[in-house]
């Protein structure tokens, strides 16, 4: 980045990450420690602000993308947790529930409460990859939900998360619910290749009574078309931050072993040129979504959605290439079990399988399923 253009606020966030997050990275990665206190402190510091525009548009994309990129440059696991949290904020902002917007949203933005996504299975459902795991029986103005979601991240007893469930009438509804709701049981998921410090659980729903004020959309099919650009676009921050870290690491190895790295086919400047182009593209899309409501439907929205998908896919491939090049530039030092290059490789593989995964994205772009 151009240091001359860094604002006082940006410098404050950078210093905060260096002082508060960097010392935690090893325990997050190696011991699966969930950095709850850091996350709450980050949001309490004002790193993410509440937008006043309440129309069902993409407002907040640029801010989320920037924050996730900055954090992911230091720790991909924590960057992912922040993506989960900002996704929950996105659902509520765009939804119909006055209660969630007025009572829960400010607490999420301030870090007093935390949020998860819960939409991995539904996004795969809409792409024709999976069946929907949750069923919702109408009860008054609310719903009784049953089923199992195998992977939901950034959860805890005081956290909220999104869900989509199918009704007997053949339609789908979406709600944002608290983990503490009666009938929800959570089993921690561990032993992943990486990103164990993300508070990931299997959630079982046994006659969970979803209150009417928790419902963000009675027509989830239409609502997903509104929220999906922001959902996917903000994930690009994970790749941008990770790639930036790999580039910086390669640059520090320029004189290693008498300059032998100069003979490698991929140089940091090569990766950086592509990173800059993708970064410019991602922020242009974010700004477009913030101002134009690109999820509203029509040909413009579909073209925008396809561009978001392509940028997300290209950024995932670039992250994979960048961390491999970084690993080769570091040589044997990167092969140490808990080294930063080895951690970044595992983080890049996670980005490749995170919903929408690379194969999911390839299908959406080649077949056009939505």
pLDDT tens-digit profile of 304-349? 999 999 999 999 999 999 999 999 999 999 999 889 999 999 999 9
pLDDT tens-digit profile of 76-96? 999 999 999 999 999 999 999
CB 203, CB 152: distance < 8 Å: yes
- Domains in the chain: boundaries: 3-114, 120-219, 221-367
Sign of the torsion formed by the C-alpha atoms of 13, 14, 18 and 19: negative
Architecture of domain 221-367: Up-down Bundle (1.20)
The 8-class DSSP code of residue 96 comes to S
Across the chain, what does the average pLDDT equal? 92
What percentage of the chain's residues is helix, strand, coil (to nearest 5)?
60, 15, 25
CB 304, CB 294: distance < 8 Å: yes
Which class is 120-219 in CATH?
mainly beta
- Pick the range with the lowest mean pLDDT from 90-104, 123-137, 141-155, 288-302: 288-302
Confidence class for position 3, pLDDT limits 50, 70, 90? very low
Other C-beta atoms closer than 10 Å to the C-beta of 307 total: 17
User: What are the two backbone dihedrals, phi and then psi, of residue 130, each rounded to the nearest 5 degrees?
Assistant: -145, 160
Confidence class for position 123, pLDDT limits 50, 70, 90? very high
pLDDT tens-digit profile of 163-219? 999 999 999 999 999 999 999 999 999 989 999 999 999 999 999 999 999 999 999
C-alpha 248/C-alpha 136 separation (Å) is 49
Strand pairing partners for 166? 135, 172
Q: What Å distances lie between residue 138 and 92, 183, 353, CA to CA?
A: 21, 16, 34
The CATH H-level superfamily of 3-114 is Acyl-CoA dehydrogenase/oxidase, N-terminal domain (1.10.540.10)
């Amino acid at each position: 980045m151009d240091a001359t253009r860094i604002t006082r606020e940006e410098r404050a966030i950078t210093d905060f990450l260096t002082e508060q997050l960097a010392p935690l990275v090893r325990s997050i990665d190696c011991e699966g420690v969930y950095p709850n206190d850091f996350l709450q402190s980050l949001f309490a510091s004002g790193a993410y602000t509440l937008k006043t525009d309440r129309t069902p548009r993409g407002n907040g994309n640029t801010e989320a993308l920037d924050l996730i990129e900055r954090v992911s440059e230091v720790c991909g696991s924590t960057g992912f947790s922040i993506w989960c949290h900002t996704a929950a904020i996105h659902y509520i902002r765009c939804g119909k529930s006055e209660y969630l917007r007025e009572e829960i949203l400010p607490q999420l933005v301030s870090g007093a409460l935390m949020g998860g996504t819960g939409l991995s299975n539904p996004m795969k459902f809409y792409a024709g990859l999976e069946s929907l795991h949750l069923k919702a029986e109408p009860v008054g103005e609310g719903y009784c939900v049953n089923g199992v979601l195998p992977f939901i991240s950034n959860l805890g007893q005081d956290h909220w998360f999104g869900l989509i469930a199918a009704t007997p009438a053949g339609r789908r509804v979406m709600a944002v619910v608290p983990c503490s709701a009666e009938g929800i049981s959570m089993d921690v998921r561990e032993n992943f290749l990486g990103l164990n410090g993300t508070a990931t659980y299997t959630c079982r729903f046994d006659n969970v009574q979803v209150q009417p004020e928790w419902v963000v959309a009675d027509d989830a099919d239409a609502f997903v078309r509104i929220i999906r650009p922001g959902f996917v676009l903000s994930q690009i921050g994970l790749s941008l931050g990770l790639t930036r870290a790999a580039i910086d690491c390669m640059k520090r190895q320029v004189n290693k072993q008498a300059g032998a790295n100069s003979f490698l086919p991929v140089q940091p400047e090569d990766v950086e040129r592509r990173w800059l182009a993708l970064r410019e593209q991602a922020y242009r899309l974010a700004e477009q979504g913030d101002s134009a409501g690109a999820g509203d439907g029509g040909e413009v929205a579909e073209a925008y959605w396809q561009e978001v998908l392509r940028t997300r896919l290209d950024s995932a491939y670039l992250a994979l290439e960048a961390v491999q090049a970084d690993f080769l530039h570091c040589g044997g030092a990167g092969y140490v079990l808990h080294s930063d290059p080895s951690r970044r490789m595992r983080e890049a593989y996670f980005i490749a399988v995170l919903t929408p995964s690379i194969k999911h994205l390839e299908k959406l772009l080649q077949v056009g399923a939505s």
